[in-house]
Amino acid sequence: MDRRFYIEMGKSGLVMPIGTDLVLREHENHHEILHDGEKLGRVIQEAAGRFGSPLAIPVMDLSLEKTALLSMLGVPADQIGTYHMTTPPTDRMMRQVQQGLAEDYEPRLAAQLDAIAWVAANTDLVPVGMTIGPFSLMTKLIADPITPLYLAGMGMTAAEEPDILMVERCLELATKIILRSLNAQVLAGAEMLFIAEPAANIAYLSPNQIDAGSDIFDRFVMKYNHRLRAALRAWDVDLFFHCCGELTPYMVKKFAELDPAVLSLGASRNLWEDAALLPRTTVLYGNLPSKQFYSDELMPLEAVQRATCDLRDRMAAVDHPFILGTECDILSVPGHEATLMCKAMGMVSAVGGNDPHKLSLHFASRYAGAHAVAS
């Protein structure tokens, strides 16, 4: 899509919490919906309408690619959630995954593909795909990724340390399975891909080593994300890149090298300062502390609305294209559903709602589909 579409979104005053999971959990049969493409597509449309968003963003389920990968390796379904590799994947395992890329899609991913196709065929919304990033998937495959990453930052290599080889091979497998997922979602009709890379932060990668000249961020994060970005360029599909982890300015500038249409950052960042690190062709998204929304003690509604207005004003002052949203998707928490939805909607109402008349005709034509559902 023409990049100007997203820049217009960023200039329109749009407030767009990511709350698809909240809307999904309002349905008693939400487990069933996750496996039914049309029903899931309708929920995605409903969420876009609820929050006045032109983007149809799926549920942020970052387990799909891990499930696909480990299923190809023969890990029993009931062990996948807690499974970790303890030795580097063998050549046989690498071939096994390569062969598995041609197999049928797993039920949850198949439903997501059908949902994207339904949104593309039945709404004016921008169909968005969703996947975990390679580095974050790697951290889910290994019990202790921090130690080998630190050893690599000290200058050790995979030839010297098997755990570094394990990281590198898991990154290769992660990239293969993610590229398969991206390709399938693009074929289903996704015009934008939301790549969530929350683990690419200082909890896993030493900022001291990076400041001292180590290339670990390039080697273990950027190298593989650049491969995904190259594929999206070849398919003419836009990138919505997300990292809600704690970052340094260096890391933010590295993410900018991916040239995302939208860059989503967590609440640890001051977006009005990060705007100076990005080209104006990348729209900043975020970053209210939505992980605290469940608690009225940590983040009462009045604080949400004050923070919304404050962030809006700060970003207006730096005049960088910006969509006001959440630091991550707002996950439904049992017993706190009403509180979470109240605060998500409170963000939108704090600025008077999303007015389609403020938008260009091109933006409004996309926005109309979501607005019609909301009304």
Per-residue pLDDT of the chain (375 residues; tens, 9 = 90+): 788 899 999 998 999 999 999 999 999 999 999 999 999 999 999 999 999 999 999 999 999 999 999 999 999 999 999 999 999 999 999 999 999 999 999 999 999 999 999 999 999 999 999 999 999 999 999 999 999 999 999 999 999 999 999 999 999 999 999 999 999 999 999 999 999 999 999 999 999 999 999 999 999 999 999 999 999 999 999 999 999 999 999 999 999 999 999 999 999 999 999 999 999 999 999 999 999 999 999 999 999 999 999 999 999 999 999 999 999 999 999 999 999 999 999 999 988 767 554 544 445 555 444 434 332
Angle at 195 between CA 191 and CA 200, to 5 degrees: 160
- Looking at residue 133, the DSSP 8-state letter turns out to be -
Taking every pair of Cα atoms in the chain, the longest distance, rounded to a whole number of angstroms, is 62
From 59, 75, 207, 46, select the one nearest 130 (Cα to Cα): 59
Q: What is the pLDDT of residues 314-370, one digit of tens each?
A: 999 999 999 999 999 999 999 999 999 999 999 999 887 675 545 444 455 554 444
From 22, 4, 14, 13, select the one nearest 334 (Cα to Cα): 22
Dihedral (CA of 302, 307, 309, 310) sign: positive
Distance CA 310, CA 313 (A): 5
Residue 197 backbone dihedrals phi, psi, to 5 degrees: -125, 60
Give the model's pLDDT for residue 285. Answer: 97
Name the residue with tokens 């041609």: 102
Give the model's pLDDT for residue 370. Answer: 41
Give the model's pLDDT for residue 364. Answer: 52
The residue type of 65 is: E
CB 173 within 8 A of CB 89: yes
